[in-house]
Amino acid sequence: MNEKMSGQRVLVTGSGTGIGREIALEFARQGADVAVHYSHNDAGARSAIAEIRALGRRAEAFQADFKDAAQVRALGSEAIKFLGGVDCLVNNSGITFNQPFLKVTEEQFDAVFDVNIRAQFFLTQVIVEDMLQRGRGSICNITSVHGLAGAPEHSVYAGTKGAIIAYTRSLAVELAHKGIRVNAIAPGWVTVENYFKAIPGFNEADASRVAAEKIPLGRSGEKGEIAKLAVFLCSEDAGFIVGQTIVADGGTTSLMSLISDFRNPSSAKFGTGYVPGV
């Protein structure tokens, strides 16, 4: 196996379930030692570290409530202590939320911003201090297509994801000359455990049908595809990529929503009379 992350030390937040768990596993497959973070339920995190250790890599799970900045900073310090330093940070942890705009409360607003952007920001401070001692490092922030395109009832969630995109750019240009690269990934529809909890009657068959109709590629994304992209962005293969948000959405944000069916030729004839041949 070509282990492109051999010898690297990685912290992946929110890595007990979903995309984060697969990212942690993929780093380990590529030779990295991994600090796994979870917020509440440790079962997924414990199974992840068991799989990582089975690959011959070092791994440990650390709990931190991302609504508490003190716990966030402690997580960074504990990961640094366990790994002996952090070479790669993947800021994946986040919560999603939908609510009509006029019904959003201050408590709801604060909870989502605290977890999705405030915690990420202050954890990154701790890790960057460590990276600066060696003059190198890479950071991958997981945002969302919600930061690039609008969806009803997602004003708060989308606000956090847009903030991640903007802060990624600014931090990247501040740290690049110090040897630290910062980039982000904006996944589109990737089916994870939360879909089954949040959507009544959700099932894989219906999801596949809807994805085939709505996503230009004809399917939803796989967790492994996002994980491999995160490893790439943190590797030397991406050494000249700085401050970018890479969209992995099967063409979702590239599709103009006014087009009713992108698979068939349009019946409209714009340009008739003033564009030759129309």
Domain spans in the chain, listed from the N-terminal domain onward: 9-189+222-248
Residues forming the active site: 157
For the chain, residues with pLDDT lower than 50 are none
Q: What is the pLDDT of residue 29?
A: 97
Q: What is the pLDDT of residue 268?
A: 65
Q: What is the pLDDT of residue 108?
A: 95
Q: What is the pLDDT of residue 201?
A: 81
Of the candidate CATH numbers 3.30.70.260, 2.70.98.10, 3.40.50.720, 3.40.1020.10, the domain formed by 9-189+222-248 belongs to 3.40.50.720
Q: What is the pLDDT of residue 97?
A: 86
Integer Cα distance of 38 and 92 in angstroms: 11
Sign of CA dihedral 132, 38, 52, 196: negative
Phi, psi values for residue 187, rounded to 5°: -75, 150
Q: What is the pLDDT of residue 270?
A: 64
Integer Cα distance of 9 and 7 in angstroms: 7
List C-alpha distances in Å: 133 to 108, 128, 254: 38, 9, 41
Share of the chain above pLDDT 70, in %: 94
Q: Which of these, 27, 89, 87, 91, lies nearest to 59 by C-alpha position?
A: 27
Q: What is the pLDDT of residue 266?
A: 67
